[in-house]
Structure 1
């Protein structure tokens, strides 16, 4: 199979994103990057509760247009594209042998999914963004843990190849496969590129004092409580000179009472702002003008805001995790996510040295990521390595 061969691209996650109107997560943004890259030669795959359909090329292109350009009335626009297209499915011989790309963790834990792939003689490639629900079940709902365990096991047992965004996740996957006695199919590690932020406006955001930024869904894994505890301490120590903390992130099913200290403490409210979402231009302004991006996460598969901030020259203070050591190229300040004193020292240092910008970071590019992926789907067997070797990342 050469790199220009037709592929089947599963866009179920992007359909669900447009239908719900929620803000995109990191995985959603990776799905969009795959849509941009593969759409010239892709047919769309949509799944719903075990029903799987492959759209013909013309309706695929129309659906891709809708998904690439979110706009008001997304439900109506998506329904219009799918209602007629889902009635017919391509003849089996027209898709047999094609690479099928599932980038969004969509339903490949279901037996019907793998029956469909075998029936149509497809070559399935699955992107495993992380093993967090398996390795850290305390950060996920029990149902999510069961489903992700099923995804990981099914990918190991039936994938033509597995795409990974970091060596840290590759190490976890290899350890999981060995512990379960499961085969480890060919895999490729291709670092993600993140998005290029729009040029920052010369006018800073509407902040009348220095501020720090955290961009993350409000959930226990992201460790916002450490930041709220830290800012309560700073407010006591610095009073009116306390920098502002800007939290950008939507709430989720596990948000619970994470923001309760903020709601219950008027003194803390004077120094902390929470935005459930902001536009790309405003996020770029916040990123460029922040004293530092703060990322006290307890577990990550990659970390797009982390690399995007470093690419923009914004200093980053983040958790000392294997994946962030791997992708940070030594340009970030990494601290134990449980060490409040260490975080306080780092934030105060960044507050006192505003002229220092992140240095030494070479941003990854999406074309480098896809160069690896294209070679992988063309010849996954070439990516098999002895267990003592690693597959080079883009």
Structure 2
């Protein structure tokens, strides 16, 4: 049976014109972009107090276009400044938080969409309801309507269970909120999508604990930054720099790298540069204070956000390596994005990174500061055997691609 598709756009509406979204937002956008143009799309959906509002396919397409434009800003000013800084042509700025869109502007953009209902359109019978972002699932009343629609098949994307396993790495109180989110998903899901076998194994244990049986499809997402190689920038390629792409939050381990860079700056050799790309998360006051107040770091570390997609790919493609010293991850899109571009990756020695990197990265313990320091020093030398081996490994990475990804996801959906 080929079921019509209802795509939940609530998270995209909540993102609105905010840029710099994390991995879940980018994956949600990739799914929405694919299904907004799909012949099986019946409508989009947005949570409502008495049930979801139905959004016409044309409205979903406009939401996708608007959010996509925010994710890939056209303004190249920041990239010009960043490139100039890497080349030694721009002074090092104070690391103030990247600008965000005004709260009023966000409210005005979202308000009409939150109330929209393209009547007399309704959620069709025997449809597939897709929820990719697990947005607001901590409010079970918003999903009670599914109990009145046994004809529908609800498919949720469960990205990981890290807040349950490592609550100390998240905001205070988030564990309880996330537990409600997982309970809602497992109560209503007829099937689950996820990113890695490591996550699937953990989710299966949670399902078994509840005495349920829910099929899980594992499919590693491709790079959301594009799949084609970019032209080599000879000037930038001669620069000695590394990149970390991540929201500033405790589990990403920024403090270890910043303290390491402080040690490199005090050493006998010129220190490489470090570019931090990502929005401001939570409980990161120490990170921001160090970026703003440590004079030893200012010539060597720059924090940026809102880079155009092409600029981020350009930045990654010419870097010595991507750094990902995370304590825990459910996936790690930046690792896939860097390796897809042929850029080496130095990453934490955690199971999910071994899986998604296909053993093509350099793996180090996230608490081995001296090991990370030695690796960065090695990767700063163009003729280092360790760096050359990592470049060769990255070139042998088998990058996932979107056509094959959605072909496999749709095959799974057709089986429901």
Q: 2:121 is matched with which residue?
A: 90
Q: Does 1:17 align with 2:15?
A: yes
Q: 2:406 is matched with which residue?
A: 370
- Could you say if the C-alpha distance between residues 97 and 110 of structure 1 is closer, same or farther in structure 2, counting changes exceeding 3 Å? farther
Q: 2:56 is matched with which residue?
A: 56
- Could you say if the C-alpha distance between residues 232 and 77 of structure 1 is closer, same or farther in structure 2, counting changes exceeding 3 Å? closer
Q: 2:259 is matched with which residue?
A: 229
Q: What is the alpha-carbon distance in structure 2 between the residues aligned to residue 286 and residue 49 of structure 1?
A: 44
Q: 1:385 is matched with which residue?
A: none
Aligned with 2:179 (options 131, 149, 153): 149
Q: Does 1:249 align with 2:278?
A: yes
> What is the CA-CA distance between 1:74 and the residue it aligns to?
7.5
Q: What is the alpha-carbon distance in structure 2 between the residues aligned to residue 277 and residue 49 of structure 1?
A: 34
- Could you say if the C-alpha distance between residues 271 and 277 of structure 1 is closer, same or farther in structure 2, counting changes exceeding 3 Å? same
- Could you say if the C-alpha distance between residues 310 and 199 of structure 1 is closer, same or farther in structure 2, counting changes exceeding 3 Å? closer
Q: How big is each residue's C-alpha offset from its partner over 1:295-337, in whole Å with a ceiling of 9 and x where there is no partner?
A: 0011111111101100101010000111100011111001100
Structure 1 range deviating more: 320-329 or 367-376: 367-376
- Could you say if the C-alpha distance between residues 187 and 48 of structure 1 is closer, same or farther in structure 2, counting changes exceeding 3 Å? same
Tell me if structure 2 keeps the 8 A contact 1:159–1:185. yes
| 1:123-142 equivalent positions in 2, closer than 5 A | 123-142=153-172
Tell me if structure 1 keeps the 8 A contact 2:14–2:110. no
Q: 2:319 is matched with which residue?
A: 290
> What is the CA-CA distance between 1:12 and the residue it aligns to?
1.1
TM-score between both structures, scaled by the size of structure 1 = 0.86
Structure 1 range deviating more: 297-306 or 38-47: 38-47
Q: How big is each residue's C-alpha offset from its partner over 1:143-170, in whole Å with a ceiling of 9 and x where there is no partner?
A: 4322221222222232110111100101
Tell me if structure 2 keeps the 8 A contact 1:7–1:100. yes
Tell me if structure 2 keeps the 8 A contact 1:205–1:289. no
Tell me if structure 2 keeps the 8 A contact 1:55–1:89. no
Q: What is the alpha-carbon distance in structure 2 between the residues aligned to residue 238 and residue 301 of structure 1?
A: 38
- Could you say if the C-alpha distance between residues 264 and 330 of structure 1 is closer, same or farther in structure 2, counting changes exceeding 3 Å? same
Instruction: Please list every run of 5 or more consecutive structure 2 residues that lacks an aligned counterpart in the other structure.
Output: 74-100
Q: Does 1:200 align with 2:200?
A: no
Tell me if structure 2 keeps the 8 A contact 1:198–1:281. no
Q: 2:93 is matched with which residue?
A: none
Tell me if structure 2 keeps the 8 A contact 1:212–1:246. yes
Q: What is the alpha-carbon distance in structure 1 between the residues aligned to residue 47 and residue 8 of structure 2?
A: 8
Q: 2:31 is matched with which residue?
A: 34
Q: What is the alpha-carbon distance in structure 2 between the residues aligned to residue 214 and residue 163 of structure 1?
A: 27
TM-score between both structures, scaled by the size of structure 2 = 0.82
Q: Secondary structure of 1:237's partner?
A: coil
Aligned with 2:204 (options 165, 171, 174): 174
Tell me if structure 2 keeps the 8 A contact 1:131–1:173. yes
Instruction: Please list every run of 5 or more consecutive structure 1 residues that lacks an aligned counterpart in the other structure.
Output: 381-394
Aligned with 2:343 (options 290, 295, 314): 314
> What is the CA-CA distance between 1:26 and the residue it aligns to?
0.6
> What is the CA-CA distance between 1:23 and the residue it aligns to?
1.2
Q: 1:389 is matched with which residue?
A: none
